Amino acid sequence: MTGIIIISLIAIVILFLGLYKLDKAIVPLAVAALLAAITSYALAWNTNIYYFNNMLFVDNFAILFSILTIATTILILLLSPGYFEKISSNVAEYVALILFSLVGVLCMVSYNNFSMLFIGIEIMSISMYIMAGIRKKDLASNEAALKYFLMGSFATGFLLFGIALVYGFTGSFNLETISTLVMESGGQAAALFVAGILFMIVGMSFKVSAAPFHFWAPDVYDGAPSLVTSYMSSVVKTASFAAFIRMFIVAFAGVIHIFTPTLWALAAITIIVGNVIALYQDTFKRMLAYSSISHAGYMLIAILALGPDSGNAIFYYAVAYSIASVSAFAILIKVKALKNSESFDAFNGLAKNNPKSALALTISMCSLAGIPLTAGFFGKFFIFTIAINQGFYWLVGLAILNAVVAFWYYFRVIIAMYMKSPSSDEKIEYGFSYKLVLWIAAIATLLFGLLPGILSGLL
Partner 1 sequence: MESNFLPSDYFPIVLQLLAAIGFVGLTMLATHLVGPKRKTKDKLETFECGIEQQGDARAPISIKYFLVAILFVLFDVEVIFMYPWAVNFREMGMQGLMEMFVFIGLLLAGFVYIIKKGALDWE
Partner 2 sequence: METIVQNIQTVPLNNYIILSSVLFVIGVLGVMIRRNAIIVFMSIELMLNAVNLLLAAFSAFRGDPAGQIFVFFIMAVAAAEVAVGLAIIVMIFRNTRSIDINFLNRLKG
Nearer to partner 2, 116 or 360 (CB): 116
Looking at the Cβ atoms of 123 and 323, the one nearer to partner 1 is: 123
Report the residue number, 96 or 413, with the smaller CB distance to partner 1.
Answer: 96
Q: Of residues 12, 150, 419, 443, which one binds partner 2 by CB under 8 A? A: 150
Name the segment binding partner 1 (CB under 8 A); options: 11-19, 192-200, 273-281, 322-330: 11-19
Residue of 3, 4, 7, 16 interacting with partner 1 (CB under 8 A): 16
Tell which one of 4, 6, 7, 15 touches partner 1 (CB under 8 A).
15
Tell me how far apart the alpha carbons of residues 229 and 329 are, in angstroms, rounded to a whole number: 8
Of the candidates 107, 80, 282, which has an alpha carbon nearest to the alpha carbon of residue 290?
282
CA–CA separation, 367 and 390 (whole Å): 26
Residues 6+ apart with CB under 8 A from 404: none
End-to-end CA distance of the chain: 19
**Among partner 2, partner 1, none, residue 16 binds (CB under 5-8 Å by kind):** partner 1
Least distance from C-beta 294 to partner 2, angstroms? 16
Under the binding rule (CB under 8 A), the answer on residue 53 touching partner 2 is no
Q: Give the chain's length.
A: 459
Nearest residue to 381 via CA among 304, 312, 454: 312
* Distances from the Cα of 454 to the Cα of 48, 290, 379, angstroms: 22, 30, 13
Q: Among residues 126 and 271, whose Cβ is nearest to partner 2?
A: 126
Among 214-222, 302-310, 344-352, 394-402, the segment contacting partner 2 (CB under 8 A): 214-222
Separation between Cα atoms, residue 235 and residue 73, nearest integer Å: 7
Residue number, 15 or 32, with CB nearest to partner 1: 15
Give min distance, CB of 146 to partner 2, in A: 5
Site for partner 2 (CB under 8 A): which residue of 88, 89, 153, 188? Answer: 153
Which residues lie closer than 8 Å to 69 by C-beta, 6 or more apart? Answer: 102, 105, 106, 109, 235, 238, 239
| Nearest C-alpha neighbor of 125 from the set 102, 92, 142, 144 | 102
SS3 at position 283: strand
* Distance (Å, whole) CA 323 – CA 432: 18
- The window from 14-22, 207-215, 265-273, 406-414 that contacts partner 1 (CB under 8 A) reads 14-22
3-state secondary structure of 372: coil
Instruction: Please give the radius of gyration of the chain, using alpha carbons only, rounded to the nearest integer.
Output: 21
Positive/negative CA dihedral, 67, 72, 75, 77 = negative
Residue 355 CA from chain centroid, whole number: 28
Q: Are 324 and 367 in contact (CB under 8 A)?
A: yes
Question: Which one, 16 or 394, has the nearer CB to partner 1?
Answer: 16
Count of CB atoms situated within 10 Å of the CB of 320: 29
Q: Which is nearer to partner 1, 100 or 259 (CB)?
A: 100
The stretch among 131-139, 243-251, 255-263, 422-430 that binds partner 2 (CB under 8 A) is 131-139
- The region of 12-20, 142-150, 183-191, 259-267 touching partner 1 under the rule CB under 8 A is 12-20
Q: Which is nearer to partner 1, 100 or 252 (CB)?
A: 100
What would the x/- binding string for partner 1 be over residues 17 to 46, using CB under 8 A?
Answer: --x---------------------------
* Interacting partner of 345 out of partner 1, partner 2, none (Cβ under 5 to 8 A depending on kind): none
- Which residues in this chain contact partner 2 in the complex, by CB under 8 A? 114-115, 118-119, 122, 126, 129-130, 133, 136-137, 139-140, 142-147, 149-150, 153-154, 156-157, 160-161, 163-165, 167-168, 171-173, 192, 218-219, 222-223, 280-283, 286
- Which residues in this chain contact partner 1 in the complex, by CB under 8 A? 12, 15-16, 19
